[in-house]
A and B are shown apart, each in its own frame.
Chain A
Amino acid sequence: MNLFNIIDEIEKVDPEIHERLNPRRAAIKNITSFGSKVAMAAMPFALGTMFKKAYGATADTATVIGVLNYALTLEYLEAGFYNTGASTAGLIPASQATYIGQIKNDENLHVTFLQGVIKSLGGTPVTAPTVDYTGGNGKGGGPFPTVFSNYGTFLAVAQVFEDTGVRAYKGQAPVLIGNQVVLTAALGIHAVEARHASAVRKLRNDIANGASATPTIKPYIVSTATLGNDTGVAAANGNYAGEENVTQGGVNLVSALGVSVGVATASFDEPLSKDDVLKLLVGSFIVS
């Protein structure tokens, strides 16, 4: 659904559409201004109101709320992870508390933001899931038993969460076509998750190699032809499945443009569907 196409279509049968919408023109004009949560959260509602006033119909927001609640679930998972890590004595070195703290704060802000937007759309934010950060579905025996006692494990799980978050948001972008405000905000969160992923990867590398030597863990996902996962954490292979793709928009980057598989895969991040993400998380990190 695209609002502006809709307006164009309506104009064909109703030349007065612009006059009907005119009182709300200021709202359209300010549509790109979403620095304020209130303004942004109110915008889809304003658009709905605009059409309601013009034609007595309401814009369907159920799909948008569904996407936002899915995103909220992932943000709960991430925020809880960093909150627990930060409050675990002796886990995060003091020298890196600010660095990790930046990510923790961002994830908590995402939770608050998404809750606010969902409410403003008339939806009900989902509650935080029951989690097991060892990946054991609350039953023990998960692949990451030392997630909060070994800093290396903590960072490895952080990297997987951030990279997966990037894939999850990317997968929802097409669903949000036609909702400028929510799509732009989602892309903005998507970019911040990618910044986090880059930062966690660099931290892991710098601990392993120092900051000045040739890096072995890159800020981007460098896959091989047969394995998307470049983290060395075999339990997370599913989270990176598909990252080995080298064909974009019908162009095989390796055969047509002559680059290596590593360059081809690092240059493009791949999306994951909602179903795939939930399969990866529910029954392991999210207790089912």
Chain B
Amino acid sequence: MARRSFLRYAGAGAAAVAVLGTASCGKDHIKHPDGSYIDIGSGDVGILNYAYALEQLEAAFYLQVVATPYSGITAAETAYLTDIKDHEVLHRDFFKAAIGSAAIPALTTDFSTINFSDRTSVLGAAKLLEDTGVKAYDGAGYLIQSPDYLTIAGKIVSVEARHAALIANLISSGSFAAPDQVDANAINRSASIAEILGAANGFLKTKVYATNFNYPII
């Protein structure tokens, strides 16, 4: 039975979803009545909700960064961070529209550990979020059953990687593919859903779980 569960986890079930926008397969996500946590659900819709959760987090972060720019920000940094904010907000809104009624609700964020007036604090958090986004999409790609969804994930992850390299270059020029994110074969590191949500939940009041992907609600 344990083995069976593992295989089920590894293969994300056999849910096949044909067209984005009309997707409704897979178990619905679970929501705690008081809004304190959410579960992404199962199948491809679960993975889309996973991406939606991460994009919500990124969008909220950059909206705050742009609303309260850190001291000493350059014209270039203002332009870049505004662009990234626009991209992440669009990613968020795209997933909400595409997943439709199966989408998880809006998450409440917690950025109390970030000093938005301090460049080092903001860019450090931006690097963490972008690197996490790249590792998340790369690590979850194999769980996606639909070629169309996988392509959409691919369209977004390379933009996240462009962001990640940009932020790294802003922190330290030339660190765009540094060993903390890229392994000895020059392959970007990837991470499991459990690893990613464990980190992302540090920035979320609404905790996100993935019971069907080995990160259960405790």
Which A residues have a C-beta under 8 Å from some C-beta of B?
2-5, 7-8, 18, 22, 25, 28-29, 31-32, 35, 37, 98-99, 102-103, 105-107, 109-110, 112-113, 166, 170, 173-174, 177, 180, 183-185, 187-199, 202, 209, 211-215, 218-220, 248-251, 253, 256-257, 259, 263-264, 266-271
Contacts and interface: CB of A to CB of B under 8 A. Distances in A.
Interface residues of B, number: 66
Contacts of B189: 188
Contacts, number: 233
B165 A194 contact: yes
B155 A191 contact: no
What does DSSP make chain B's interface, helix, strand, loop or mixed? helix
A188 B83 contact: no
Nearest to B96: A257
A177 B158 contact: no
A263 B93 CA distance: 13
B135 to A, nearest CB: 9
Interface stretch (B31-39, B63-71, B171-179, B199-207): B171-179
B26 interface: no
A192 B157 contact: no
Interface in B64-105: 74-76, 79-80, 83, 86-87, 90-91, 93-94, 97-98
In this complex, the member of B4, B97, B148, B187 whose beta carbon has the largest number of chain A beta carbons within 10 angstroms is B187
Nearest to B23: A249
B152 interface: yes
A192 B187 contact: yes
A18 B8 CA distance: 12
A249 B94 contact: yes
B190 A213 contact: no
A263 B151 contact: no
Given A192-B187, A196-B176, A199-B165, A2 B11 contact: yes
